[in-house]
Amino acid sequence: MSKQIGLVCGSFHREEVSRMLDFAKDEAEQHGLTIGEVVWVPGSMEVPLALDRLLADHDAAACLGIIEKGETQHGLAMGQAVIKTILELQLKHNKNIGLGIIGPGAKPKHIEPRLEPHARAAILACIGK
């Protein structure tokens, strides 16, 4: 039986994250993993709750998204809080979570070259590679 992975995708950068989702699905298929539920959330703040819910019914989960550099420190603070909570969720559920969030602090020129590697690495993290 293949390992089932849930995915949380941030919709604020929907076009780019949709491409990340395609890369993630391809990587999962290459490793014999099944993508279960895919949940789209408005932004990074909603990622932890969606992950918490997915981990109840999946063997692992990954999140895909982008936190751009803004004119204030809001993105940095939000990114740090989200990542800290993701780490706590791994411990709570004793399940792998792949972090495929580009940023915080990503500039537009950083996004395109990171779409594929971040998405694929998030899937590999779900299987501990």
Once rounded to an integer, what is the mean pLDDT over residues 61-90? 90
**What pLDDT is stored for residue 56 in this prediction?**
95
What are the helix (H) ranges across 31-107? 47-55, 74-93
Given a contact cutoff of 8 angstroms between Cβ atoms, the answer to whether 93 and 53 are in contact is no
Identify the structural domains of the chain with CATH numbers, from first to last: 4-126 (3.40.50.960)
The Cα 50–Cα 41 span in angstroms is 8
pTM here is 0.93
Annotated catalytic residues are 74
Q: How far apart are the first and last CA of the chain?
A: 19
Residue-wise pLDDT tens digits, 7-21: 999 999 999 999 999
